[in-house]
Amino acid sequence: MYPNVEVVSCLPDKTVRRSTYADLHLRARALAASLQKAGIRPGDRVATLMWNHSAHLEAYFGIPAAGGVAHTLNLRLHPDELAFIANHARDRWLIVDDVLLPVYEKFADKVGVERVIVVPFSGSPLPRGYEDYEMFLAQGGGNPTYADADENSAAAMCYTSGTTGKPKGVAYSHRALVLHALSISLPDSFAMSRMDTVLPAMSMFHANAWGLPHAAVMNGCKLVFPGPNLQPEALLELLSTENVTLTGGVPTVWLGVIDCLEHDPGRWKLAEGLRIIVAGSAAPESLFRRFDKFNVRVIQPWGMTETTPIATTATLKPEMAGWSENRKYEVRTKQGLPSPLVEMRAVGDDSEIPWDGKTFGELQVRGPFIAARYYNLPEEQDKWTEDGWLRTGDVVTIDADGYMKITDRTKDLIKSGGEWISSVDLENALVGHPAIKEAAVVAIPHPKWQERPLACVVLQDGARVSNEELRIFLCDKFAKWQLPDDFVFLEELPHTSTGKLLKSQLRQRFNNFNWEQVGS
């Protein structure tokens, strides 16, 4: 349908490789044919350990076309976690970038994959026992028999990168991937069309890069892959030279990009009306405002590995056009309305909460692309209600217009003297201060109030600010009892492999915090 549309890959050595959808079609078919010749069986897992580039896209389509399941491994996880995941999934083959062989070799002796197929980038000779990807593609003849798969059979697979417990596998059916791609393509979601150039700055090795590769190919969009090159200047160069109109990634990526853009605004020419999808953790209002000055629109959705992953999106309704800018920002910084085909509710004390924008409850969702179970973990089914609602673990409010706002994770909400405090709201407000680069607010045990908020802050390079200045800054938006009792200044904050704040480490580090030193 779109043979001449480009697929642009920025490789690990920062060189750019250009191919087309015609190439993608032939090479994905060649991969499928070679896997079939190698003896792939329906449902066999083929793992990938790869950056974002065209060969990874070939795996997205070639593996399920052969009847297999494309299992993306998160290359940022600890080797022991990767070994656990590969063994739990029973991965039969592995496709790996040659530059990532050192990552694989750290857990290779702990897994039993039958064949390791290496995508050559560096030009270095392959170690013994590994197969060259290009030679593997040539072995199958290029004409596969497309698998006669049921639409509810698995096409892809990803493991959660939760902050507690072992990773849990989520299998995505052919049906779920197609319905999700349709859902995020709609005008009130990401508004994807064949006129777009799409740059996924989120990882293809986690949650299908939020569905952007599947939806982009479905719509015939030009695709630009950054590889491992997510430095602000490298991203801005790609956004500018390739005229990207839709991109996305976690807030930390875009905070670096906007800093760079503001420092040298005349250096890059971004596409008119560029849209940036920001998720993974709540984006601060300041990020929306800063990008708006460059006519770049930030859109905030919400999702998780279990929801394929996009389940809500915050775009405005027509009756909001006349609202004040501040009121519009208040809506845009929420996590938004449920995606088409997704049902949403919030439950508190065993009953559904009212949609008043004030009452807290745990978010629950269900729909045709929401997972119904974890892979091969029958003991973990309490994550779902008996009638199929996924208990997300996110504490939210839902307003009268239907917009959901995450106030915390159930384990991160702060209960002080019987009253709830949202750590997310405090964090987003703190990041709005010009001296602050990143902030995390955690609940610390308190002898009188049960818990109190402690703010852990990373400053911008060369910046200085006092505790009292930060308290005054927050007073406009929060009651005095909601303010952090103290501020700890750190060089960096801990993150999960997918960029989320790892608050469990901070809670553990400051669990025995001496409140007497701050006069509490």
Give the tens place of pLDDT for each residue, 114-157. 999 999 998 889 999 999 999 999 999 999 999 999 999 999 99
pLDDT of 520 higher than 50:
no
**Separation CA 128–CA 103 (nearest Å):** 17
> For helices 423-431 and 285-292, what crossing angle results, to 10°?
30
**Separation CA 430–CA 304 (nearest Å):** 25
Question: What is the domain partition of the chain in residue ranges?
Answer: 6-229, 414-518
| The pLDDT value given to residue 449 | 79
CATH 3.40.50.300 fits 6-229, yes or no: no
Superfamily of domain 414-518: ANL, C-terminal domain (3.30.300.30)
Q: What is the pLDDT of residues 416-461, one digit of tens each?
A: 876 668 888 899 899 999 999 999 999 888 877 778 999 999 999 9
Strands 197-200 and 154-159: unpaired
pLDDT of 515 higher than 80:
no
Check: CB of residue 453 under 8 Å from CB of residue 443.
yes
DSSP 226-271: -TT---HHHHHHHHHHTT--EEEE-HHHHHHHHHHHHHSTTS--PP
Burial of residue 418 (number of CB atoms within 10 Å: 0-12, 13-18, 19+): exposed
pLDDT of 346 higher than 80:
yes
For 186, the 3-state DSSP assignment is coil
| The pLDDT value given to residue 164 | 53
> 261 vs 24, 210, 236, 270, 439, CA distance in Å?
33, 25, 8, 10, 21
Catalytic residue numbers read: 160, 306, 415, 420
Q: Which of 181, 135, 182, 166 is nearest to 34 (CA)?
A: 135
**Separation CA 25–CA 224 (nearest Å):** 17
State the pLDDT confidence band at 411, using cuts at 50, 70 and 90. low
Tokens 């490298």 found at: 234
Q: What is the pLDDT of residues 227-286, one digit of tens each?
A: 999 999 999 999 999 999 999 998 889 989 999 999 999 999 999 999 999 998 788 899
Q: What is the pLDDT of residues 452-510, one digit of tens each?
A: 999 999 999 999 999 999 999 998 888 788 899 999 999 999 987 777 788 888 988 99
Q: Which of 218, 229, 237 is nearest to 21 (CA)?
A: 218
Burial of residue 129 (number of CB atoms within 10 Å: 0-12, 13-18, 19+): exposed
Tokens 């070939």 found at: 58
| The pLDDT value given to residue 201 | 97
Task: Give the tokens for residue 139.
Answer: 């072995």
Beta-sheet strand order (sheet of 486-489): 436-446, 450-459, 486-489
Q: Which of 162, 190, 161, 194 is nearest to 21 (CA)?
A: 194
Q: What is the pLDDT of residues 192-201, one digit of tens each?
A: 999 999 999 9
